[in-house]
Amino acid sequence: MYHRCVDTLKTFVVPLTFLVCLSFSLQGRGDGETHPTGQSADLTSQQSQALERSQEAIGNRAAEYEFLDQDRRPVHFSDYLGKPLLVNFIFTSCHHTCPMMTANLVKVVDVARDAVGRNAFSVVTVGFDVEVDTPEMMRFFAVERGVDFDGWDFLSGDSEAIERITADLGFYYTPSASGFDHLAQSTVLDAEGKVYRQVYGQSFDPPALVEPLKELVFGEQPDAGKLSDWINGIKLFCTVYDPSSGKYYFDYSLFVSIGVGLICLFSIAFFVIKSWREHETNPSA
């Protein structure tokens, strides 16, 4: 792993690979009824269109919206700008996908905070079932999933706010016999409110979310001329994921290799200088 860090330290340019898993949620207010087999062709087309719409939203700048948080306090979307923001969508009467997705997100957000800093980004969960997802229901849903509200708000909005934010962020949902069909999507926005990455699946590994957050927090292409950016560049490429523990850690092997290299370099230099001086002192030797 340290070889990757050494190369990055020299160039500050290394391609990153992200784990992305698409999961199209078909859960409703009941126990998650599935669509009849005869509708499979239409469902495949629906999934394809939903994914295409989601990907087309990358680069969109989120507009201003007004919501109520879980404590019924009015909030504006602009309140969350200034640092990266993670947005996901749920409906509180869902019995399977939304609870599972939120429970997984709790774990991944904890890993991300350890990797990039607890206050380095914010999280909001938006309830898109306008009639049911009241602030009280959103709070109850969050508490049931073990959410820490520090830096994570659960928002309720009116029909206009929900329609606008889902359109801007490329989130697909539609009423169905079982409640709602929707895309299991988490959206990463940059500090200016532009869609930076879409993460799919009701359950996904931490790198799918942490890697784009690392890029946004530490900088995609650090400027080697600035000390702070130089340090962030090291953090970006040497904060690595350990699948066995499910957490990120800083790879100190870079500095070990640099130390060993310096020792070897000084040893060689010492030997060369010593030999040269001995030759100068006794040319006939």
How far lies 156's CA from each of 89, 126, 199, 251, in Å? 11, 6, 22, 41
pLDDT recorded at residue 179: 85
pLDDT band for position 12 (50/70/90)? Answer: very low
pLDDT-derived band at 219, boundaries 50, 70, 90: confident
Q: Is 151 left (phi over 0), alpha (psi -120 to 50) or beta?
A: left
Q: Model pTM? A: 0.69
Mean pLDDT, range 52-60, rounded to an integer: 96
pLDDT of 278 > 90? The answer is: no
Token couple for 43: 């469902």
**What value does the mean pLDDT of the chain take?**
78
To which residue do tokens 């030999």 refer?
275
**Interstrand relation of 239-242 and 74-76 (parallel, antiparallel or unpaired):** unpaired
CB 184, CB 50: distance < 8 Å:
no
| 149-188 pLDDT per residue, tens | 999 999 999 999 999 999 999 999 999 887 898 999 999 9
Lowest mean pLDDT among 136-150, 246-260, 264-278: 246-260
Query: pLDDT tens-digit profile of 111-130?
Result: 999 999 989 999 999 999 99
SS in 3 state form for 61-72? ECCCCEEECCCC
| Position 202 pLDDT exceeds 50 | yes
pLDDT for the residue 234: 53
β partners of residue 66:
76
Closest CA to 196 of 93, 4, 43, 60: 60
Asked if residue 253 has pLDDT above 60, the reply is: no
As a whole number of Å, the CA-based R_g of the chain is: 25
CATH of domain 17-250: 3.40.30.10
pLDDT attached to residue 230: 45
Structure confidence at residue 35 (pLDDT): 46
User: Shortest CA distance to 217 belongs to which of 84, 97, 41, 61?
Assistant: 84
Q: Give the DSSP H or E segment for 188.
A: strand 185-189
Neighbours of 18 (CB within 10 A): 14
Residues across the chain: 285
Structure tokens at 83: 């640092």
Alpha carbons 106 and 214: distance in angstroms, whole number: 18
Instruction: Return the pLDDT at 284.
Output: 59
